[in-house]
Structures are given as C-alpha cells and as structure tokens.
Structure 1
Amino acid sequence: MTFHPLRDVRVIDMGLLLPGPVCALHLAWLGADVLKVEPPHGDAGRVLYDGAFFDTYNRGKRSIAIDLKTEQGRAVFLDLADQADILIENFRPGVAERLGIGAGVLQARNPRLIYCAITGFGSGSRASAPAHDLNFLARSGALGLPTTWSGQGRQSTRPAMPIADFGGAAMAVQAILAALFERTRTGNGARIEIAMQEVMLHWIGWRTSADERADERAWTRHLEPANDLYLTADGRGIAIGAIESHLWRGLVAALEDAGAVLPPGAMDWDWQARRIHAQELSDALAIVFAARPLAEWLERLEAAGVPADPVNTPPEAFADPWAIERKLVGDDGWIRPPLPGVGALSPAPAVDADGPAVRQGMAWKAPPLA
C-alpha cells in the first residue's frame, strides 16, 4: 500500500539551491502536490554539477517560471498562494516583503497558509548577512571542534555533505508537519522561520555543555579512541564504535586473538580510563589495524559482535547488499527515501514545464482540503 498522508496538500516551493527544495522534496515523497515557482532563468541549482544537484532534489515536482518583479507575475503568484496550503522559501529576510509576497500579505489573503521561511540567521544583526552551508558550519563552531583521536592536530576540513542545509530542511519539515496538524484543530495557518545557524548551534549544544564539566581535558577529543577511524593494511578506512564496556572487551579480545599487542590491562579499562590513556591507546590501535586488510578485520569484528564498518564511497554504499535489500535505489537508479510504501517520484521538471497549464487555471493536481 502506498503511503501518501499528504495527498491533496498543495505546496508552493520557492526554494533555491538546497534547503527549500530538500524540504519540499520530503513533502512530495509524502504525497503532497508540489509546484516549484522559479525565476524566469530557473533555479540556480540547475547548473550545478551538470544538473545532478537539481535533478536529485526536485523530483516529484512541477515547475512554473514567474517574474515576481512584474505586476502580471505577482498576480499569477498570488492566485496560486490563495489556493495553497504550504509555502516554502529560503530568501534572505526582507526579500519576499520587497516583492510584495511576504507572509503578512499572503496570510491576510489566505489565513490557512503555512508559510515557512528557511533563512541563514533569522532576525537580528546578521539577518541580511550572505552565507552558505560552509559558513554556518564555521560560525557555529562545528568546524572548530577537534575531530578524532587519530586526527589530533589536523586542521579543520570541509565536510563532504552540506550538513547545515540538510539540517535546516529537516527541521523545516518537522515544523511544517506540526503546523499542518495544528491547523486541523484551529483552522489557522502559521508563520515558521528556521534559521540554519540556530539548527547548527542546537546540534552542537551538547559539546558546549560538556566543556563546562570539571575535567577540562575530557572533551578535547570526540568521545574516545575506541570510537574512531583507522587505516587497514590495504589502505582502506574502518570505523570502530566500541564505546560501551562490553563492546570494548569484545574488541580487545578479537584484536588479541589476531595477535595484537595492546597496553597491559587494556581489557579492563572503562570509558574514563580509555580517555586517560587516549594517546597511547590510539597509537596502539592504529598499528594494530594497519597490520591486516579491511575484509579480514570486518569478518573478525562482526563475529565478535563489535560495531565495525568500512569507510565506503557513495557508490559502494548504495551497492551494499543491505541497501539493495531495502530497495533504497529504484529501478531508475534514483535514491528512494527510507520510508515504507512511499512511491517513486517523477523526474525533476524543466523550467516552466507546467507554466502554460497553470496560467490556464489548471494549477493543482487535486482538489483543496475541505
């Protein structure tokens, strides 16, 4: 049975690049009718990475190109917004108001509208500051954190994933669904603002609290050496997650069974002891894992019940037997969401592909909610 809880829900996606489009994509996966409103030249994301960027995060949507700087364009847009349930935008604060399509204007016309703005910094002194994902990671402190025991002294590096963009989108989806539920009780829409910098500070807050603990050294590295990345004999990375004591004992037993020599008494070290001996232990584990190839370590540690996984490339991850079993990649090669029963989405639309139909009054696929 196909899972479409948002069927008949009408969404206007005004997002550009990542945060807004990813938020709208998740609503489309849940069955919403998503109409992407683009500037006449199209979303800037269409040209990044030869289109793969846009095609991935705009599937299941339709497109209309509207010049909101013209009276005619605004009239078309306002008509759409009058019939919509949800609007998502990630402009800088004030841009929508200057265009005459801010939340105040739209909700005065359509009180049921849920208006979600995904911004960088929200309100305040940095409201209009330009920024992208990397800027939020830097300013939030995420890039300033020490990374791993084995990477001590390493400079900050750019993550391979746009964490703040995806985090902002995820929090926006959560807030929109809550507002949609609340609307069933009150009949009123909502004004939602998601500041990506706040999302990053929320996620990193536990580290700030940890820094206030009595032992100032306790949080200079992430968790402990038994929760780290190591290189194996064939140059592959392996991730170890032996944090709890029983997992640590299983790891030590498996390593010693393979002929490894660890510091005396290491088997009985608890979490605090492992941190006290962190550098010594990290160096020893690095030597141990470098002695055998990845496949052998994975086999040994799986048999011992120790969390151990390869550092895969994305193609390797999606070729993993588990990913295939879970049908996370569709027959068309596109990644499917981790939700049971969610149907496949249509390809991303061309610029203004649905513009003619929309302008002729056929804006939405389904009737509005009662």
Structure 2
Amino acid sequence: MLPLSDTLVLDLTQVIAGPTAGQILGDMGADVIKVEPLHGEHFRPHFGGAWVPSMNRNKRGLALDLRTAGGREVLMRLVRKADVFMEAFTPGVIDKLGFGWEVVAKENPRLIYASISGYGQTGPYSHRAGYDPCIQAEIGLMDATGPYQGEMCRVGTAPIDYATGLACASGIAFALLGRHKTGKGQRLDLSLFDVGMHLMSHWITNHGLTGENPERMGTSNSLICPLRVFPTRTQPIFIAGTNDAFWRILCTALGRKDWLDDKRFTTNADRVANRAILEPMIEAYFLEHTADELLDKLIPAGMACSAAYKVSDVVKNPHTAARGSVLGIDYPGIGTVKSANNPIKLSDAPVETRRKSPMVGEHTVEIMREVGYSDAEIAALREAKAVATT
C-alpha cells in the first residue's frame, strides 16, 4: 500500500507548481483528479502538446465549466468527499467561483485546502499575478545571476515553480498528518515569493552581516574560491573548492604542491583576495589536460567536481539511468514524452506510473458516476456544456 492510498485530491492547478505537487501526491498513491476547463488548461499546446503529459501522470481527468451551476455542483459533490483541494488562482478568483476556503471548509471540515499563488493570500502584492521569472526578478535572484560584471539573467529553468511544487506536496503531507492527530483540516498558503525568498536565504544572511548585495559572478561565487567552471582541452568542468580541505585535495590530487605551499592561497579568504592571480593559474593548467584526465584524478580523491554537461548529455548519463531519473511515457499523437521522475524515493513505496497524464475530461463520466450522477444526468450536463468528456 502506498502512503497516500485512499486519499482523494482535487487538483485545480495549472502550469508547473501545482501540477508538480499533484503529481507527487499521485505518485505516492493518492487518487488525484485534475480538474480543467472544458478545453483544457492553457499550457496544453506547449511543447507540441507534451507540456501537460510531462507533469500530470498518476491523475484522472475531469473537465468542468465552473461558471455554470451544473459544473459547480459536480465539484461540490467531490469537495464533500475529498481529502485535499488544490487551487492556484490569483487570490479572490476562487472565492468568486464559490469554492473559497470558508465555503468548502463548512462543507468538509476535514479538508486540506492548499492555495498556491505568486505572492500569497495576504500582503500588499497579494492581488498580483506571479510567474516564476517575475519572482526571480522580485527577490533579487535575477540580479544575482549572470556573467561576471555582465547583464542580469533569468535562471535557465523554473526553480521557484518546481520548489513551490515540492513545498506544496510536503505541506499537504504535514497537514494530513496533523489531521490524523486532530481530525481537522486546514488551509495552506503557499507563494512563489516565499519559496523564492527561502532559496535566497544565504544571501539574505550575508546582506544582514555585511550590507552587501550578491555580485554577478557567472559560474563563480564572490564568497568562495575556487568555485566555478573551468575550460579544459575537452569538456568544461566545475570545481567546488568550498573550503580549505577541498583546496588541499585539489592541489594534492593534481600534484600541484606549489599551489598548496603558496601563502597567497592558504585560506579561502586568501584565495578570494587573490582570485585574479589564482583562477588564471588553474585555467592555464586545466587547458593543458582533458576533462577525463582531470576528473580521473579529482573524483577518486574526493574532490567536489563535475563535468559541465548539456541536457542532451545528462539524459544519456549512466547515473541518470541507474537512478531512474528520467521517465519516458508514450502518448497517442505525441510520441514518447520524457520527463523528470519523482525525486522522493521511499524504500517501501517505489514510484510507478499507474496512469498516464489524462486527456481533457478523460475520466469525467467515471468520476461523475462515483458521486451519484446517472448517465442521463451526465448527458444533460454535457449537452448544457457544464462538463466535457472524451
């Protein structure tokens, strides 16, 4: 039995953060119902139709028009028997649809209600729509990212969205554990802004101590040296000399006793102060060798380092295969859709793809029957365009 077996989740979210959370819950055994508008969520066309399948496995699909009385009644019947309700509308929208926290908590006091938004349910920015890049800009992450003394850059994925999804899934698990103890549901207020601030924690700490903002350093770091990507004769490699012990390992493994004995580089503070001298020395040495030659010495010695790969490299990496980090699922009309696997690995609950990501309304009839609708009633609601089926 999976940890969340017999847990019913209503997932009204779209795009990345909420669907990621719902997918994790589904992987862990929950019966997750993806509730979409009649024509599907607005990101369905992206990646040639592969966007939604990439982050909605282990869910069933229900298509409703919540602007209609019939669509709202279907959802309310499900609310009364659900364990978790997830929504990611701009604050206030879900209340206008009739499914705000105060309303559904009266219908189902045991319900765990998770709201995901850009800036949270309170505060002067709460009314704003917020996407991952907006938050990257807002929290200083964009300003901290980019080439040395160059233009600020967006991080090349959606780290805040995905981290919010993980935070939402874990928050729901905590709330379900709390309900087990108290018998009561509760609301989760998750915002990309709060999660993004958490990701900036050590820079916030540094600012509190020094008053300084992060300096754009490319792959390097203003507080640590050497910590950056260095070119080699072949593949670039990343060196993480995060402390003096790693510096000693680096020098010893490469046979560079002269670096180790150089008083300008004894401590991290020394190396940071003399970065302009040290980094060109390392770069010149690395350019005389291939990545494999260097890594074959550094990795067995225990040095924190890695090759700097492209996505096309890492998806073929033997470690990726051994860890099952990438899934490939076939979808009609699309082909094989590859996506990242669930990173949470429980010894007694191996992750399996029990269901492919649903098509729009794929399980509408099945789900409506489960909450008491007759086939005639389903047909009437379909005719009234309150629900959609495949």
Per the normalisation by structure 1, the TM-score is: 0.89
Equivalent of 1:69, from 67, 70, 77? 67
Aligned match of 1:50: 48
Residues 303-362 of structure 1: CA deviation (Å, up to 9, x unaligned): 332122111222322322222222334575654323142223421111000011222236
1:294-313 → structure 2 map (5 Å cutoff): 294-313=291-310
Q: Is the 8 A contact 2:2 2:29 kept in 1?
A: yes
- Whether 1:361 and 2:370 are equivalent positions in the alignment is yes
- Whether 1:232 and 2:265 are equivalent positions in the alignment is no
Q: Is the 8 A contact 1:121 1:127 kept in 2?
A: yes
Q: Is the 8 A contact 1:68 1:99 kept in 2?
A: yes
- Whether 1:175 and 2:175 are equivalent positions in the alignment is no
Provide the secondary structure at the position in 2 that maps to 1:138: helix
Provide the secondary structure at the position in 1 that maps to 2:45: helix
Aligned match of 1:92: 90
- Whether 1:194 and 2:203 are equivalent positions in the alignment is no
Aligned match of 2:262: 265
Name which of structure 1's ranges 205-214 and 327-336 shifts more when overlaid on structure 2.
327-336
Provide the secondary structure at the position in 2 that maps to 1:107: helix
Aligned match of 1:286: 283
Provide the secondary structure at the position in 2 that maps to 1:243: coil
Q: Is the 8 A contact 1:119 1:196 kept in 2?
A: yes
Provide the secondary structure at the position in 2 that maps to 1:45: coil
Q: How far apart, in 2, do the equivalents of 1:329 and 1:63 lie?
A: 23
Q: How far apart, in 2, do the equivalents of 1:103 and 1:196 lie?
A: 20
Residues 132-159 of structure 1: CA deviation (Å, up to 9, x unaligned): 1100011001111156xxx421222222
Q: Is the 8 A contact 1:249 1:267 kept in 2?
A: no
Note closer, same or farther for the CA distance 1:92–1:218 as it changes in structure 2 (3 Å cut).
Answer: closer
Provide the secondary structure at the position in 2 that maps to 1:144: coil
Equivalent of 1:336, from 333, 341, 344? 341
RMSD (CA atoms): 2.4
User: Identity across aligned pairs (percent)?
Assistant: 26
Q: Unaligned 5+ residue runs, structure 2?
A: 330-337, 373-390
Q: Unaligned 5+ residue runs, structure 1?
A: 364-370
Report the CA distance between 1:215 and its aligned residue.
9.0
- Opposite residue 93 of structure 1, the aligned amino acid is P
Q: How far apart, in 1, do the equivalents of 2:115 and 2:327 lie?
A: 31
Q: Is the 8 A contact 1:233 1:293 kept in 2?
A: yes
Q: How many residue pairs end up in the alignment?
A: 355
Residues 59-92 of structure 1: CA deviation (Å, up to 9, x unaligned): 1111010000000110011001111000111100
Provide the secondary structure at the position in 2 that maps to 1:180: helix
Q: How far apart, in 1, do the equivalents of 2:211 and 2:371 lie?
A: 64
Note closer, same or farther for the CA distance 1:131–1:214 as it changes in structure 2 (3 Å cut).
Answer: closer
Aligned match of 1:133: 132
Report the CA distance between 1:280 and its aligned residue.
2.0
Q: How far apart, in 1, do the equivalents of 2:3 and 2:315 lie?
A: 27
Provide the secondary structure at the position in 1 that maps to 2:360: coil
Note closer, same or farther for the CA distance 1:262–1:52 as it changes in structure 2 (3 Å cut).
Answer: farther
Aligned match of 1:368: none
Provide the secondary structure at the position in 2 that maps to 1:44: coil
Q: Is the 8 A contact 2:143 2:153 kept in 1?
A: no
- Opposite residue 208 of structure 2, the aligned amino acid is E
Residues 84-107 of structure 1: CA deviation (Å, up to 9, x unaligned): 000111100000001111111111
Note closer, same or farther for the CA distance 1:77–1:206 as it changes in structure 2 (3 Å cut).
Answer: same
Q: How far apart, in 2, do the equivalents of 1:113 and 1:33 lie?
A: 15
Provide the secondary structure at the position in 2 that maps to 1:360: helix
Q: How far apart, in 1, do the equivalents of 2:264 and 2:270 lie?
A: 11
Q: Is the 8 A contact 1:247 1:306 kept in 2?
A: yes
Note closer, same or farther for the CA distance 1:48–1:219 as it changes in structure 2 (3 Å cut).
Answer: closer
Note closer, same or farther for the CA distance 1:328–1:217 as it changes in structure 2 (3 Å cut).
Answer: closer
Q: How far apart, in 2, do the equivalents of 1:358 and 1:215 lie?
A: 56
Q: How far apart, in 1, do the equivalents of 2:134 and 2:211 lie?
A: 31
Q: Is the 8 A contact 1:10 1:86 kept in 2?
A: yes
Q: How far apart, in 2, do the equivalents of 1:29 and 1:85 lie?
A: 16
Report the CA distance between 1:41 and its aligned residue.
1.1
- Opposite residue 60 of structure 2, the aligned amino acid is R
Report the CA distance between 1:283 and its aligned residue.
2.7
